[in-house]
């Protein structure tokens, strides 16, 4: 596979790093919400926020890198509807990778809690404490997270289909290996 048939290394590294951070944030979010209030739960909330802010920053970098590079072509055997579906899914993934952490950030602000990134500096408060908006933003954050989970699952299933059923090499586009 030639270099023009795979994404640049920076995009590949960001893809897998962001994927790992999203999985970690989702897992942590699932665990922490079911815990009783405790210092551990509060610490998990901080970690969850840190992961979200990190994802947001890395996705912004990835989007910039993607805008200044050319995507590899799809395998010739992919039908037009598949390429359109893949493009739509990728666009939706980008939207959700911004929307999920932003909705969490707005929810945290409306709940009256600061986001102190890595315990080092406080991010600006965009929305002041607002109990009514807090509930709506919490629901929105949960809904967007579940939609993201669903789209990620479809994304993974499509990649696995291409790898093991179609055997068209599509997955290599997001690999650093030359083989």
pLDDT confidence tier of residue 177, bands split at 50, 70 and 90: confident
Average pLDDT over residues 166-175: 93
Residues 6+ apart with CB under 8 A from 165: none
- Contact of 127 with 144, CB cutoff 8 Å: no
Average pLDDT for 118-146: 96
Token pair recorded at residue 169: 């090499």
> Span 85-100, mean pLDDT?
98
Cβ(70)–Cβ(4) under 8 Å? yes
Helices (H) and strands (E) in the chain, counts: 4, 2
Of 148, 146, 151, 175, whose CA–CA distance to 163 is shortest? 175
Q: What is the overall mean pLDDT for the chain?
A: 95
What span, in angstroms and rounded, lies between the C-alpha atoms of 169 and 92?
Answer: 23
pLDDT band at 69 (very low <50, low <70, confident <90, very high): very high
Average pLDDT over residues 59-64: 98
Centroid of chain to Cα 109 = 21
Phi, psi (5° rounding) for residue 89?
-65, -40
Q: Give the model's pLDDT for residue 60.
A: 98
> Could you confirm whether domain 3-174 is CATH 1.20.950?
yes
Q: Residue for token digits 């989007």? A: 63
114 pLDDT above the threshold of 70: yes
Residue 179's pLDDT is what? 55
- In this predicted model, what pLDDT tens digit does every residue of 2-50 receive, in sequence order? 556 899 999 999 999 999 999 999 999 999 999 999 999 999 999 999 9
**Where do we find the tokens 């999920």?**
100
Asked whether the predicted pLDDT for residue 1 surpasses 70, the reply is: no
Q: Residue ranges per domain, the chain?
A: 3-174
pLDDT of 107 higher than 80 = yes
| Residue pair 12/174 in contact by the 8 Å Cβ criterion | yes
29-41, pLDDT tens digit by residue? 999 999 999 999 9
Indicate the burial class of 96 (C-beta count within 10 angstroms; 0-12, 13-18, 19 or more).
buried
């Amino acid at each position: 596979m030639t270099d023009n048939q795979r994404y640049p290394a920076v995009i590949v590294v960001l893809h897998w790093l962001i994927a790992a951070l999203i999985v970690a944030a989702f897992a942590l979010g699932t665990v922490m919400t079911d815990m009783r209030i405790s210092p551990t739960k509060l610490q998990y909330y901080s970690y969850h926020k840190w992961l979200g802010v990190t994802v947001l920053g890395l996705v912004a970098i990835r989007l910039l890198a993607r805008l200044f590079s050319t995507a590899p072509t799809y395998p010739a055997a992919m039908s037009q509807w598949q390429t359109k579906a893949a493009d739509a899914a990728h666009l939706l993934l980008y939207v959700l990778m911004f929307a999920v952490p932003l909705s969490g950030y707005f929810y945290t602000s409306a709940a009256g809690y600061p986001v102190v990134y890595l315990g080092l500096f406080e991010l600006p408060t965009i929305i002041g404490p607002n109990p009514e908006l807090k509930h709506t933003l919490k629901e929105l954050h949960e809904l967007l997270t579940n939609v993201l989970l669903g789209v990620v699952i479809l994304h993974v299933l499509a990649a696995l289909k291409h790898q093991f059923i179609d055997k068209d090499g599509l997955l290599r586009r997001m690999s650093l290996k030359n083989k």
